[in-house]
Each structure stands twice: as C-alpha cells, then as structure tokens.
Amino acid sequence: MPDVNTLIEVALIIVKVVIVSMILFSLPLPLTWLERKIAGHIQLRLGPFRVGPHGVLQPLADMIKLMFKEDITPYKADKWLFRLSPIVAMVPAFAVYATIPFGNTVTVPFINKEISLHIADMNVGILYVLAIGGITVYGIMLGGWASNSKYALLGGIRASAQMVSYEIALTFSCVGVVMIANSLSLVDIVHTQKGAILGILPNWNIFYQPLGFIIFLIAALAETNRIPFDLPEDEGTLAAGYHVEYSGMRFAFFMLTEYLAMVTVSVLSVILFFGGWNSPPLVPETLNNLIPPIFWFIGKVAVFIYFFMWLRFTLPRYRYDQLMTIGWKILLPLSLLNILITGLLLI
C-alpha cells in the first residue's frame, strides 16, 4: 500500500505544475493589452479602445482571430521542422519556471499543510534556468531556417549569433550573486537577501552588485530579442525576421514565447537582485503581516515588466555591428571585472 503522504506530495507537484502553466499560458493576454496601452500613452494616443471598456477585451479578440486564421506552411519549407519549431521555442520558456520560487511557504487552509511556492528547489537552480532558457534559440533558428525564405533565414542567423554572444555576459553577471549567496539554488539566493543594511536600505543584491545588475539587464534585454536589440525581427530590413512565414496559432506561439521571456527576465531580476519575495525593511510590521510575501514578488515583477515595455517605446534600435561590439567588447570584460571585484570584496 502506498504511503498517503507520498501520494499527497505527488498530487501537490502536479497541481502546482498545472496552476503555474495555466497562469503562464494566460499571462500574455493582459500583457499584450498593457503593452499597447503603454505604447499608446507614451505616443500621446489612446491605444486599443474599441473592444470592451478601455479595450480590455482586445487580447481576447486577437486570440480568436489568431485561432481561426489559416495555418499556412510554405510550399518550399521543411514541413516537419517548420511545424516543430514554435513548440521548441515555447517549451523551454515554460520549463524555466520549474525552479522559480514565487514566495515563502504558505499554509493552506482546510488541509492545514505547509506548501512551498516553488515546484522544485534544485541545488543548481540558476544554472538550470540559464541552460534551459538558452534552448529557446533553437526554435527561433530552426523556424527561420525551415521557412526557406531569405528574410526568415537572416532573422534566424541574427538571433543565434546574438543569443550566444549575450548568454556569456548574462551568465557571468549572475556569478557575482552566486558568490554572495554561496549557492546556486534560487531559494537560497532569495533567503540571503533578507534583512536590511544599516536599518534603512533593504539587504538586496542590487546594492552589492550594481555593475552586475546593469550587465544582467542589458544582456537580458538582448536575450529576449526586445528593442533596442530586436534585430532578429527587425521589421525595417527583414520584414518580420524569423517568423515572417508563420501565421495563425504557430505565430501566436512565437509571440507567447517572447512575452514569457520578458516575464522570465523580470522574475530573474527580482530574484537575483531585488530580494525576491522579501519586503522592504521600512514597511511596518502590521502591514507586513497582512500582505503575503508573494504580493511583494508580483509587485516587483510588475515594475520590471513595465520598465521593459517603457524601454521598448523609448529607445531606437542598434545596428548589428554595434550589438556585437556591446556584447563582446564592453559587457563581457565588464562582467569579468565584476567577478574579480566581487571576489576581492568577499575575501
């Protein structure tokens, strides 16, 4: 007879996985609306306004449109790969969340059981996130190649070169945080950021690793293929880049991946540099008891998502040679310097 406790554990993991994937699947809906609204307001217009009050139902309308569009596979495409690559891009974007801690443990009412708000606490957490996150590039590359179109191929090639270049700087910028936390586990990294410096400033890594954070942010922007580094889908020169031949749901999968990548990057910034679910120290105790830690986490992530959207409508796009120069000649040496400084300070 199986042990009831083990059964509950297994069931809990399944429930967590389902909940997290459901949330991630539906997250792009509000995010596309938000992005358009923010774009509109930055450019002094209203943004979507027709479907529902203030256009809130616009993403639903878009979703219905995408679902009923014809799914075109180009005649000369590599059919098998063409159909596979949106999924190859999308799966790692979800898989990353297996190790993300969303909050401290909470006690569930009715069954009176403490559950942790992460699916798995791996002792190689950050390495796992970076490794799996890097796989998304295959979807983009293969999508570009399989379309058998010049624009798509160029987009795919640009994406692969860009993502490999910036992955190095991204990884090295995380090393400083790992050195401070003395652990690769994301849960441990958040736990070391508890408390306050001098009673006022929160004990977050951003204050120990300002250079690391700036490198992380820039490299992460490049990894997510967003402006100012969105050269793989540069609409001015490449039509739409790697997804130019895609339509309908497959195109939607690529968009979903892109939005999830932005969320992942925001989540990672919060966990690595902004204390995860820890509240700022000046918040009074009574308020702190009222607000569960996960709300701090979500709030911080929301700020970052807003920041990334804000950047998109503020900055122009870089040239491709500038992109490579920034990655290899500026960010990589700086990230190595950051590791050196961190090492010297930790002695």
Question: Where along the sequence are the contacts to another protein (CB under 8 A)?
Answer: 1-3, 6-7, 10, 78, 81, 122-124, 127-128, 130-132, 134-135, 137-138, 141-142, 144-145, 153, 156-157, 160-161, 163-164, 167, 184
68: number of Cβ within 10 Å = 9
User: How far is the C-alpha of 333 from the C-alpha of 317, rounded, in Å?
Assistant: 23
Task: Work out how close the CB of 130 gets to another protein at its nearest, in angstroms, rounded to a whole number.
Answer: 6
Task: Work out how close the CB of 166 gets to another protein at its nearest, in angstroms, rounded to a whole number.
Answer: 12
Task: Work out how close the CB of 261 gets to another protein at its nearest, in angstroms, rounded to a whole number.
Answer: 15
62-68 long-range contacts, Cβ below 8 Å, gap at least 24?
A: 62/32, 63/29, 63/252, 66/248, 66/249, 66/251, 66/252, 67/248, 67/249, 67/252
Q: Chain-centre distance of CA 275, in angstroms?
A: 17
Task: Work out how close the CB of 182 gets to another protein at its nearest, in angstroms, rounded to a whole number.
Answer: 9
Task: Work out how close the CB of 68 gets to another protein at its nearest, in angstroms, rounded to a whole number.
Answer: 31
- SS3 for 253? helix
The residue (of 99 and 278) whose beta carbon lies closer to another protein is 99
- SS3 for 201? strand
The residue (of 137 and 206) whose beta carbon lies closer to another protein is 137
The residue (of 62 and 223) whose beta carbon lies closer to another protein is 223
8 Å CB contact between 230 and 323: no
Both ends of the chain: CA-CA distance in Å?
Answer: 54
229: number of Cβ within 10 Å = 25
Task: Work out how close the CB of 205 gets to another protein at its nearest, in angstroms, rounded to a whole number.
Answer: 19
Task: Work out how close the CB of 160 gets to another protein at its nearest, in angstroms, rounded to a whole number.
Answer: 5
Task: Work out how close the CB of 296 gets to another protein at its nearest, in angstroms, rounded to a whole number.
Answer: 28
- SS3 for 114? strand
User: How far is the C-alpha of 125 from the C-alpha of 200, rounded, in Å?
Assistant: 30
The residue (of 23 and 164) whose beta carbon lies closer to another protein is 164
**Token reading at 175:** 């090393």
The residue (of 54 and 76) whose beta carbon lies closer to another protein is 76
Alpha-carbon Rg of the chain, whole angstroms? Answer: 21
Using the 8-state DSSP alphabet, how is residue 183 labeled? -
Helices (H) and strands (E) in the chain, counts: 15, 4
The residue (of 137 and 231) whose beta carbon lies closer to another protein is 137
The residue (of 81 and 249) whose beta carbon lies closer to another protein is 81
The residue (of 132 and 265) whose beta carbon lies closer to another protein is 132
User: How far is the C-alpha of 89 from the C-alpha of 191, rounded, in Å?
Assistant: 32
8 Å CB contact between 245 and 149: yes
